A = this chain, B = another copy of it.
Amino acid sequence: MTQTLEPQTERTGSEGPAEAPPSPQQRVDGWLSAFESALTDGDVERATSLFAPTCFWRDLVAFSWNLTTVENRDGVRSLLTATLEAASPSTFRTSEEPTEEDGVVTAWITFETAVGRGRGLLRLTDEGAWTLLTTLYELKGHEEPLRGGRPMGAEHGARKDRTTWTERRAAEEEALGHTVQPEVLVIGGGQGGIALGARLRQLGVPALVIDRYARPGDQWRSRYKSLCLHDPVWYDHLPYLKFPENWPVFAPKDKVADWLEFYTKVMEVPYWSSTTATKASYDEASGEWSVEIDRDGVAMTLHPRQLVLATGMSGKPNVPNFPGQELFAGEQHHSSQHPGPDAYAGKKVVVIGSNNSAFDICGALWEHDADVTMVQRSSTHIVKSDSLMEIGLGALYSEEALAAGVTTEKADLIFASLPYRIMHEFQIPLYQQMRERDQEFYDRMERAGFDLDWGDDGSGLFLKYLRRGSGYYIDVGAAELVADGEVKLAKGEVDHLTERTVVLADGTELEADLVVYATGYGSMNGWAADLISQEVADRVGKVWGLGSETTKDPGPWEGEQRNMWKPTQQPGLWFHGGNLHQSRHYSLYLALQLKARYEGIPTPVHDLAPVHHLS
């Protein structure tokens, strides 16, 4: 339901002596009208004054051609000063009736800019706009062929030059990379690359996704066999095609893999399997990359204008150097190389690390009768999967949320509307609830000697994920093994290895046939260093993290995740990844940025983030 805007003055006229307080709808209409009027007049000061002194405006590509969050009136003023003229925003409307709770009015809004259409979420208090989310969802003249605008498919009428869908697809495949260059090359064909590929396909941007594995989905198939999604189904949908209504809550990895493979095909994503990129360089003059690839043994060079690294938010493995590794007579490998438990029944295994991978690997090894010791080097945040699902996600991503009208698309925007700066305030109480609910479990973990934490500020898992992408385990069972002593626990740094043992700093000596280094991953710009050059990796700087000045997320404050889905200091280089939720939602904004560049639509980037950390 759209609403007609009326200037507030018209409504506060002489209609009666005892006027009721304005409804949420009236308040929002008044605010939007005043905001639009100030914007139309180019009056930044007036527009700024409509915001509360403490406020957050998050813009995803609509005003800033960037993902950016500004704070307080200074931030609003600076964003508007820089972007107002080019964005030329107008037609602010509510898209459904606003609601009020605890003095905060919440409104779904739509608007237009010079080049596109946007939607957002506004929260008003008595002081003015407290939070504003503005997002671009389509470019004018480049609307996606969806729903009422979907393609006809059949070309009715008889014609001698008819080509069929199959013939056109075959011709396209034959040309791509040979006579036709992809505008966008996406390296990495997991959920991130595939979701982006689907969106680019839908937007008519010639793109190619390449992946080293033989089939889409092999990124999942190749992992240890008991792996399941740790996030529930409602959080995991891909764009355009939702999982069916009988899809399991926590899908097993091979089922996810099959889905990704068929999704790729159904969405007609140009996808080259068994393909690795070996070298890339950027030509400033032509604005083109040269990317050397190996496609199933055949060397080729591609010339995309845009290069997206979607090789996984985990970046490159951190393989530690310990004295004596070269003497160790058993097997040793990083968790990313771990083949699963089958070969290790009856063997002594030492797993270095105590986060997700370490627990998953320990659990699977224990199930296969290995003698497993976990080495905890620093504290870990653990939440039970079911508690996380019910308390952490249930309000936005669940069957109940759907029944209450919170679609996946709405949930994504509500989530995105909470400024990272204050997100911990919303998260802390949720994790307090989880702690209370599972207190008995946490007591047992501590009695077993396990060091627990809840994030530096008690804000729990999701912020740890956003800040550092590590330091936690979503318990699907393996933590109980540590609590029960079924998986042995040792603590402290590794001092060195001997022929048969791992020796810890306190002198503890652990016998081992296998050592697994579940020691995490570096920043994603490590991929850029390998593929392009250290110079480019350093120019781009650290990828991921918010600058929260918490452990492994040094400041200064960035307001957004560093370098993710947004322009970087290296023209034509982009980073994409994250969990299924992020792959789904943020691929939209990345795709729109790439589409605009492909179409030659001006994309003046506001406040390109400076680099503070190299990795």
Interface residues of A (CB under 8 A from B): 144-148, 150-154, 156-160, 162, 164-167, 202, 225-226, 228-229, 233, 240-241, 244-252, 254-255, 258-259, 262, 265-267, 363, 366-367, 369, 385-386, 399-400, 476-478, 480-481, 486
Contacts and interface: CB of A to CB of B under 8 A. Distances in A.
Given A164-B225, A252-B164, A252-B165, A246 B150 contact: yes
Given A225-B164, A245-B147, A262-B266, A250 B481 contact: no
A478 B158 contact: yes
Given A245-B147, A367-B159, A481-B158, A153 B240 contact: no
Nearest to A262: B262
Contacts of A252: 153-154, 164-166
B150 A385 contact: no
A360 to B, nearest CB: 10
* 5 closest cross-chain pairs (CB), A and B: A153-B248, A154-B228, A154-B250, A165-B252, A241-B244
Contacts of A167: 225
A258 B249 contact: no
24 contacts: A144-B246, A145-B246, A146-B246, A147-B245, A150-B247, A153-B229, A153-B249, A153-B250, A157-B480, A158-B486, A159-B477, A160-B367, A160-B369, A162-B367, A164-B225, A165-B254, A166-B254, A240-B246, A241-B245, A246-B267, A258-B265, A258-B266, A262-B265, A262-B266
A251 B386 contact: no
Contacts of A249: 150-154
A245 B156 contact: no
Given A156-B477, A158-B486, 7 more contacts: A150-B246, A153-B255, A154-B249, A159-B477, A160-B366, A162-B226, A165-B255
Contacts of A476: 154, 156-157
Given A158-B477, A367-B158, A259 B248 contact: no
Given A166-B225, A244-B266, A245-B147, A250 B152 contact: yes
Contacts of A266: 244, 258-259, 262
Given A158-B367, A246-B202, A266-B262, A147 B399 contact: yes
A240 B248 contact: no
A153 B251 contact: yes
Nearest to A230: B154
A197 to B, nearest CB: 13
A217 to B, nearest CB: 11
Contacts of A265: 258, 262
B248 A164 contact: no
A245 B241 CA distance: 7
Contacts of A159: 367, 477
A226 B164 contact: yes
Contacts of A145: 246
B156 A386 contact: yes
A321 B576 CA distance: 65
A416 to B, nearest CB: 21
A151 to B, nearest CB: 5
A366 B481 CA distance: 71
Nearest to A402: B147
A331 B49 CA distance: 84
Contacts of A255: 153, 165
Contacts of A247: 150
A402 to B, nearest CB: 8
Contacts of A385: 154, 156
Contacts of A369: 160
Contacts of A157: 476-477, 480
A229 B154 CA distance: 8
Nearest to A247: B150
Contacts of A250: 152-154, 156
User: Which of A150, A158, A258 has the largest count of B CB atoms less than 10 A from its CB?
Assistant: A158
Contacts of A152: 248-250
B363 A248 contact: no
A267 B363 CA distance: 29
Given A228-B154, A266-B262, A481-B158, A244 B248 contact: no
Contacts of A226: 162, 164
Contacts of A262: 262, 265-266
Contacts of A244: 240-241, 266-267
A146 B245 contact: yes
Contact of A150 (B154, B245, B258): B245
